[in-house]
Structure 1
Amino acid sequence: MSSAPIGIFDSGVGGLSVWRQVVHHLPGESVIYLADQAHVPYGQRSAAEIQAYCAEIARHLLALGCKAIVVACNTASAVALEPLRLALPQLPILGLEPAVKPAVALTRTGVVGVMATPATFQGELYRATVGRWAGDVRVVEQVCIGLADLVEVGELEGERCDALLRSFLDPMLAAGADTIVLGCTHYPFVIEAIRRLVGPALAVLDPAPAVARHLGEVLDGAGLLSTASGSPQHRFFTSGESGSFDRALARLVGARAASECVAWQHGHLQRL
């Protein structure tokens, strides 16, 4: 089973920011990535919808032989991670939570900004994280409607991207934030634009590297690290249009592959 693939999923291309870190930190592992672009973005959907999508995607990845699953979406992690773990106790399932703990350790002003979707801010996982680690630090929550959509279509720079980013960054800066947490896996793809706009004095935190390292620890502890010889195999699935996904794959992470399509039929995923 150690040679089985790792499953990673997101509503779209954002989770590729986690995929690239997993591939970097665990170069011997094969990975299956599934983008549920039929329902992107998750951030404005109900908790019940997201939980239903995630349960079916996890079932699909399990049927493909995955030995572990990474929910590479902060929104999905916020509302569906615990239900998934309860439904599939035999499977290591990791999620994402905003990097509040390291942000609290870094801040000098005592103000931390978090960029995320409404569903992430409303989720119990986020609330528990802030309650556990924020202490006396003020956390400024910035809802970023539309930013994931720009990343999905590949608009990572330019006037429209800068204007949208400024509308999110300015309130956090005005509140005194000196550390900004990226609370959506789409956002690391505009991290250079953010850094250009806020300047070098502000720390901008991407949680993906820590998730990849933690995944390695979990697999090692369970005896599931790959011992296979030869090159790992990476497969990509999308419930959207494969051509646009393949172009995003090449543009965002430099991977050139032909994705496979899946379709939603009566609430279930089917291979095409």
Structure 2
Amino acid sequence: MALIGVFDSGVGGLSILDEALRQLPEHDYIYLADSINAPYGEKSSEWIASRSMELCQYLAAQGCDAIMVACNTATAEAIAHIRKTLGHIPIIGVEPGIKPAAMQSSNGVVGVLATEATLKSDKFNALLATLPNDCQFIKQAGPGLVPLIEAGQANSEETLELLAEHLEPIQDAGADTLVLGCTHYPFLRKAIRKLLGDSVNLIDTSEAVVRQLKRKLEAQGMHLDNGKCGAIQFISSKDAELLHQMAQELMQSDLDERSTQSQLVSIFK
């Protein structure tokens, strides 16, 4: 059994934790939300890199055997430095699934909904440059969406109206595939389906990300499926009880069958 750290700017990484609990239920998890500073997508590259490193070092100090950087923005800006600094443990990041989207699109028009920082990052654009020129990517930032999700308003009318504005250029371009390029955005599936219907294919990389974690654990002999459920510790830089409550509301996993605890870490204010 391993201790897995999962870090995000807020509640978005709960989509990754949810998938991890499905594929790897037997491990213990620490979920660290830097909610007092959410969203990361509109902050400077330097700040994101520094803060992400600080929080990953904290998780490493708690004894984590692996860390999932469950934030697209933090992955884009900081993961290379984090891996170099914390080279003794596996560091798994997330990035927009533009490659599988390009392969699955029928008409070659793909929408990418992500944060401004992710879309401008060198990592994202380097990946984009490796893909076929015959696929058109409609890149769209989603300012305002993350704060609404953080406030528990993923399915509110306000969110639906803002989402409609952000999706309009993607709809106008005729995209048949939409990449959810922020870990918060899977929680908008219901709203997206309401606006786009079922004909648009949604790409969420959480399943592939957790498969990568599983491979890393197996390589180190730390993955044993014993049929048990590990414990989860929810840590927040803002409101740990609210984080726990939102986890119960947003996640499909049954948290009642696990040992859970919440903790406010004031050092990260």
TM-score class normalised by the smaller sequence = over 0.9
Alpha-carbon distance in 2 for matches of 1:134, 1:153: 39
Q: What residue identity is the alignment partner of 1:206?
A: D
Tell me, yes or no, if structure 1 residue 44 matches structure 2 residue 47: no
Q: Classify the secondary structure of the residue corresponding to 1:112.
A: strand
In structure 1, the partner of 2:233 is 235
Residue 184 of structure 1: which of 182, 196, 205 is its match?
182
Residue 155 of structure 1: which of 153, 156, 175 is its match?
153
In structure 1, the partner of 2:115 is 117
Quick check: 2:72–2:118 contact (8 Å CA) kept in 1? yes
In structure 2, the partner of 1:263 is 266
Quick check: 2:114–2:141 contact (8 Å CA) kept in 1? yes
Q: What residue identity is the alignment partner of 2:152?
A: G
Alpha-carbon distance in 1 for matches of 2:211, 2:158: 35
Q: Classify the secondary structure of the residue corresponding to 2:5.
A: strand
Q: Unpaired runs of 5+ in structure 1?
A: none
Report Cα offsets for 1:45-82 as digits up to 9, x if no partner: 11111111111111111111100100000000000000
Moved over 4 A (4+): 226-230
Alpha-carbon distance in 1 for matches of 2:226, 2:85: 29
In structure 2, the partner of 1:71 is 69
Report Cα offsets for 1:89-124 as digits up to 9, x if no partner: 111101011001110111111110000011101112
In structure 1, the partner of 2:90 is 92
Deviation at 1:4, TM superposition (A): 3.1
Counterpart mapping for 1:86-235 below 5 A: 86-226=84-224, 230-235=228-233
Deviation at 1:230, TM superposition (A): 4.7
Identity %: 39
Alpha-carbon distance in 1 for matches of 2:132, 2:115: 19
Alpha-carbon distance in 2 for matches of 1:200, 1:134: 26
Q: Unpaired runs of 5+ in structure 2?
A: none
Deviates more, 1:162-171 or 1:13-22: 162-171
Q: What residue identity is the alignment partner of 2:266?
A: A
Alpha-carbon distance in 2 for matches of 1:41, 1:251: 20
Quick check: 2:232–2:261 contact (8 Å CA) kept in 1? no
Quick check: 2:12–2:71 contact (8 Å CA) kept in 1? yes
Q: Classify the secondary structure of the residue corresponding to 2:233.
A: strand
RMSD: 1.6
TM-score, normalisation: structure 1: 0.92
Q: Classify the secondary structure of the residue corresponding to 1:148.
A: helix
Deviation at 1:227, TM superposition (A): 6.4
